[in-house]
Amino acid sequence: VSSRRKFFVGGNWKLNGDKKSLGELISTLNGGKINDQTEVVCGAPSIYLDFARQKLDAKYAVSAQNCYKVAKGAFTGEISPAMIKDVGVTWVILGHSERRHVFGESDELIGQKVAHALEEGIGVIACIGEKLDEREAGITEKVVFEQTKAIANNVKDWSKVVLAYEPVWAIGTGKTATPQQAQEVHEKLRAWLKTNVSEDVAKSTRIIYGGSVTGGTCKELASQGDIDGFLVGGASLKAEFIDIINAKN
Ligand X SMILES: *[C@@H]1O[C@H](CO)[C@@H](O)[C@H](O)[C@H]1NC(C)=O
Read off the DSSP letter of residue 146: H
Q: Which residues of 118-147 are buried (b: 16+ CB within 10 A; e: fewer)?
A: bebebbbbbbbbbbeebbeeeebeebbbeb
List the alpha helices (DSSP H) in 77-178.
Answer: 81-86, 97-101, 107-119, 132-136, 140-152
Q: Phi and psi (nearest 5°) for 13? A: -75, -15
User: Can you give the length of the chain in residues?
Assistant: 249
Tell me the closest approach of the beta carbon of residue 236 to ligand X, in angstroms: 31
96 carries an active-site annotation: yes
CA–CA dist 175, 79 (Å, integer): 32
Using CB under 6 A, pick the residue from 16, 90, 196, 224 that binds ligand X. Answer: 196
Range in contact with ligand X (rule: CB under 6 A) among 10-18, 56-64, 116-124, 192-200: 192-200
146 carries an active-site annotation: no
Of 119 and 200, nearer to ligand X (C-beta) is 200
Largest Cα–Cα separation, the chain: 48
Range in contact with ligand X (rule: CB under 6 A) among 64-72, 171-179, 191-199, 206-214: 191-199
Out of 39, 96, 98, 130, which one is annotated catalytic? 96
Answer yes or no whether residue 165 interacts with ligand X by CB under 6 A.
Answer: no
Read off the DSSP letter of residue 236: G
CA–CA dist 115, 120 (Å, integer): 9
Number of residues that bind ligand X (CB under 6 A): 6
Answer yes or no whether residue 178 interacts with ligand X by CB under 6 A.
Answer: no
Tell me the closest approach of the beta carbon of residue 196 to ligand X, in angstroms: 4
Burial label, 47 (beta-carbon count in 10 A; 0-12, 13-18, 19+): exposed
Answer yes or no whether residue 173 interacts with ligand X by CB under 6 A.
Answer: no
Using CB under 6 A, pick the residue from 145, 179, 184, 197 that binds ligand X. Answer: 145
Tell me the closest approach of the beta carbon of residue 239 to ligand X, in angstroms: 39
Answer yes or no whether residue 199 interacts with ligand X by CB under 6 A.
Answer: no
Using CB under 6 A, pick the residue from 71, 191, 198, 216 that binds ligand X. Answer: 191
Non-local CB neighbours of 35 within 8 Å, separated by 6+ positions: 7, 245, 246, 248, 249
Chain residues in the site for ligand X (CB under 6 A): 145, 149, 191-192, 195-196
Active site residue ranges: 96, 166
